[in-house]
Amino acid sequence: MSSTDDEPPPLSIQDINNIITNLRNLLTSDCAEAEIAVATNTAANNPTGNEQDGSNRTGNEQDGTNKQDGDANQAQETNDEKKEPLYELGKLCKELDYMIRSFQELENLKKSLREPFETLEANVNDIVSDLEKDELRKQVQHNLRVFRNNITRVKILILLQLQAASINSDGNRALQTTFATGEAGDLPHLYGERIFENSYYFKEIEEKYEGLDVRQKLCLLCFSIFPENAEIKKRFLRFWWVGENLIARNGNDEMGDLNDTLTTFVEKRLIEPVLKKNRLQPRSYKVTPIVRSCLIHFAKKEGFFDYDQDGKPIMDFSSCNKACMVKSERATASWFADYLKGNDKDGNSEKPKEQEQYEEQGKLLQGKLSADLVKLQMLFNFPHENTLIRASQQIDKLQTLFNLSKQFPDLPTEWFSKMTGIKVLYLGRWEATAGQARHIEVEDIEFLKGFKNMKNLRLLSLQGISGIPKLPTTLCKLENLRILDLRACHDLEKLPDRIGSLKKLTYLDLSECYLLDYIPQQLNKLSELQVLKGFVILEAKNSCTLDDLSELPSLRKLSVNVNTTKFNIDEAGNALAKFQKLEKLRIAWGWGGMPGKEDSTLDSSSEQQQSKTKKKQASSISSAAAKASTDKVNKGEDKGNRERSAVAAAGEANSKTAKLGGGLRGTANIALMAKKWRRLSMKEREPQNLEGLERLVKLDLQCFPRSEPPTWLVPRKMKKLTNLSIRGGRLGYLNHEDGQKWNADTLRLKFLVNFKMNWKEMQQRFPNLKYLENLRCPRITFCPCDANGVWQKFVQSK
């Protein structure tokens, strides 16, 4: 026999539990026998009887009593010696009880994890079986995501069991209400828990974190300030990281650094992409609760932000150079409440050295806070007075101020102007607007004049803030500003005339500024501007135009809103052809840019023209016949001659009508003739220089007002176009010259009632098509789209 056959089988958890239980019972019985023996000896050495008072005893009796006491003491010492092993046996019983409970908990954990592990096993089997089939490769990707999510759930379940076991131990009775009062399924706060920081999951994430370089670590720590399961937009991360100078260093590509960094985090399972339907690429990311708790620990350790005991960021920047503006969920600091009541309890206590220095500088007058300090305390709610003093002294060192949840981000003018070291000032809304957007409002814009001192500011976001009708001229002194985010500033009416002074500005977002009615021409002086969103074409005098924007040498992405009927899309092709680096273009027609009733469709105008021609034709025939008959009667001709004359007159009228409109059938060609004439006239206005148009990679037209496409929208002039999107409007077709084909591989057609094309024609004209969206376009027929109106080539080919 082999040596392995002699080895006993491994013990199960139940076997170990039974062995420990028997040992405990044996020890318990020994303890009981020892207690009985001790009790018997004690009874023998201390007989019961009536005790006499010492004053009534004789001398002999007293001596006898003393002798009995000595014997009793000796017996007590003997009993104490026998109790010592009894005490040790009792301690061992308690240890064995703890081991029994631990093994019982492990048995319960094993039972609770049986079903999740069976699910993981089924996931693995599905993945293995799908790998053997080429037509199910996409299903493998889906199964991998499901498998990864199930593993995360099991890890969280194990962690919860370990935490519950720790809390239910004898040493942690006081913490039992922490989880007992929580809702089922809620993940407790892991930040600050010692058992979590010693767990395998924390060590695993810590190892991944330490494997990043310094720049990547700082980028990752930005996720630590957001609530659990918050979706952080890719655009917002780009803003913040550019403001912190974490990407696009040394002339590197900004989007390239952004995508590489996010890809690294996703591959390491530190963040998760948020995939939504009809989106080829993720636009948002989030972190799991476990990773978030680890990031809070790392951020607190590095002094990235300051947090409270629950892991929530606070507004105290006295220990770091970054601060979050959060809505007040805690009561006013006790010392400040006492101060407001006029009862300063610490007035007679020893003052901190910092406070004494501050009083010497005149900031504290006769034990009272200055008005500036009161405003600063009301905004940030510092827990201690010396913290307020220290923060006020180093506000010029503050580098990042981020509005996480505050509704009224008005800053005291005195302190706003002292933020000379600020690099990132994000006062606006950061959340995705899928649900109800958070309302943010300022009561007065006077504090914005403090921009003049912010020479280091790189990012300024006022997104979604109401109450800002105009921006102060001091904004134009931000010589290092890279990103200006004014998206959804609904009250904004105009931009500063000297906005061209922002020489380093690369990103300007004016989207959803519906009251904006003036854009200065100096906008074309922004030589480094790469992205311009929300540019409005207006009828205002001296307002910036597309021709002015064509002078921007670095512009890559442009979004245009048309609010005037005088805008001619065909003539705009000449301006678009002048752009040097434009790759992405979106043009949307608003209510002010839509034509009136006089610009109705050609179909309705042709029907009216046909009706008028018919009436005119009938009138010509009847009047000619009546005239001929009257003339012949007056000349006294016979009846036969009158009839021949009437017929001849009728024929003459018909010939005249045929010359005018081609007869009754010829009237149907009037619309076609008008259309040909219009095409010829438009062809004369086609741009001759096609370089700017040939660089376009993505084109998005929204609410296009005509049934005919722009004259420059043809395959010959859009050679690099890979993404074409047309949403809403009256467009009826696309031009195809001499059978030329489009190079686009992505086509989105939405809400086009008049657009007509079938699947066969689409395949012929778009031979490289890989992705199609066809949503509510009733005249686009026979397309093999799914229930969401989406068709993808690789799905269809499989």
* Mean pLDDT computed over 759-776: 94
Indicate if the pLDDT at residue 164 is higher than 70: no
**Same-domain status, 150 and 250:** no
Residue 337 exposed, middle or buried by CB count within 10 Å (0-12, 13-18, 19+): exposed
Of the residues 512, 530, 545, the one at which a domain ends: 512
pLDDT at residue 90, as a whole number: 66
What residues have CB less than 8 Å from 434, skipping those under 6 apart? none
- State the pLDDT confidence band at 515, using cuts at 50, 70 and 90: very high
Structural domain includes residue 45: no
Comparison of pLDDT for 154 and 756, the residue scoring more: 756
Q: Give 35's DSSP letter.
A: H
In 3D space, the residue among 519, 558, 548 whose CA is nearest the CA of residue 536 turns out to be: 519
Higher pLDDT, 720 or 151: 720
Conformational region of residue 711, where left means phi above 0, alpha means psi within -120 to 50, and beta covers everything else: alpha
pLDDT at 78 over 70: no
585 belongs to a structural domain = yes
Out of 238-247, 364-373, 392-401, least confident range: 364-373
pLDDT at residue 333, rounded to an integer: 81
Query: 322 and 402 in contact (C-beta within 8 Å)?
Result: yes
Q: How many CB atoms lie within 10 A of CB 44?
A: 9
Comparing 8 with 3, the larger pLDDT belongs to: 8
CATH number at residue 777: 3.80.10
Q: Cα–Cα distance between 767 and 270 in angstroms, integer?
A: 40
Say whether pLDDT at 798 is over 50.
Answer: no
Same domain, yes or no: 753 and 694 = yes
**Per-residue pLDDT at 701:** 97
Nearest to 168 by CA among 13, 160, 116: 160
Q: How many CA atoms lie within 13 A of 591 on its CB side?
A: 2
Whether the predicted pLDDT of 446 surpasses 70: yes
Cα(472)–Cα(313) distance, rounded to whole angstroms? 31
Cβ atoms of 742 and 718 within 8 Å: the answer is yes
Which structure tokens are listed for 794? 């690789």
Same domain for 504 and 527: no
CB atoms within 10 A of CB 428: 20
- pTM as predicted: 0.68
Residues 140 and 215 reside in one and the same domain? no
Amino acid letter for position 283 = R
CA pair distance 158, 175, nearest whole angstrom: 19
Q: What is the CATH number of the domain that holds 269?
A: 1.10.10.10
The predicted pLDDT at position 216 comes to 95
φ, ψ (nearest 5 deg) of residue 307: -130, 160
Same domain membership, residue 792 and residue 746: yes
pLDDT at 259 over 90: yes
Indicate whether 71 belongs to any domain: no
Report the chain's mean pLDDT, rounded to a whole number: 76
- 245 and 283 housed in the same domain: yes
Select the more confidently predicted residue: 597 or 311: 311
pLDDT digits (tens, 9 = 90+) for 578-620: 999 999 999 999 888 887 644 444 344 444 444 444 444 444 4
Reading the block at residue 24, the tokens are 């405990």
Q: Which pLDDT belongs to residue 710?
A: 94
Q: Which residue has the tokens 């409002």?
A: 441
Answer with the residue of higher pLDDT: 675 or 183.
675
Whether residue 50 is contained in a domain is answered as no
- On whether both 207 and 296 belong to a single domain, the answer is yes
One domain for residues 499 and 559:
no
> In sequence order, what are the residues at sequence separation of 6 or more whose Cβ sits closer than 8 angstroms to the Cβ of residue 43?
none
Triad 591, 597, 599: Cα angle to 5°: 90
Q: What pLDDT is stored for residue 625 in this prediction? A: 42
State how far the Cα of 287 lies from the Cα of 765, in Å rounded to an integer.
43
What whole-number distance in Å separates Cα of residue 338 and Cα of residue 367? 13
Instruction: Kindly write down the DSSP assignment for every residue of 477-514, as one continuous string.
Output: G-TT--EEE-TT-TT--B--TTGGG-TT--EEE-TT-T
For residue 551, is it within any domain?
A: yes
Is the model more confident about 653 or about 422? 422
639: pLDDT confidence band, cut at 50, 70 and 90? Answer: very low
Is residue 157 one of the residues assigned to a domain?
A: yes
| Same domain (yes/no): 297, 401 | no
Query: Which whole number is the average pLDDT over 196-211?
Result: 89
Q: 208 and 130 share a domain?
A: no
Q: What percent of the chain has pLDDT over 70?
A: 66
d(CA 552, CA 641) in angstroms, rounded, equals 81
DSSP secondary-structure letter at 233? Answer: E
**Domain end call among 512, 540, 573:** 512
500 and 428 fall within a common domain: yes
Same domain, 256 and 381: no
Range of the domain at 130: 105-164
Residue-wise pLDDT for 720-758, tens only, equals 999 999 999 999 999 877 778 999 999 999 999 999 999
Q: Express each pLDDT in 38-61 by its tens digit.
A: 555 555 554 444 444 444 444 444
Residue 392 confidence class, pLDDT cut points 50, 70, 90: confident
**What pLDDT is attached to residue 676?**
53
131 CB neighbour count, 10 Å cutoff? 13
CA 507 to CA 486: how far, in whole Å? Answer: 11
Q: Please identify, among 483, 512, 541, the residue that sits at the C-terminal boundary of a domain.
A: 512
Task: Write down how long the chain is.
Answer: 798
Q: Which residue pairs, CB below 8 angstroms and at least 24 apart, start in 311-315?
A: 311/189, 311/191, 311/192, 313/224, 313/225, 313/404, 315/379, 315/380, 315/381
Q: What's the pLDDT score for residue 74?
A: 59
pLDDT at residue 456, as a whole number: 94
Domain count, the chain: 4
Q: What are the tens digits of pLDDT across the range 568-578? A: 999 999 999 99
148 occurs within a structural domain? yes
- Three-state SS string across 703-769, please? EECCCCCCCCCCCCCCCCCCEEEEEEECCCCCCCCCCCCCCCCEEEEECCCCCCEEHHHHHHHCCCC
The model's confidence at residue 229, banded by pLDDT at 50, 70 and 90, is: confident
Q: Is residue 345 one of the residues assigned to a domain?
A: no
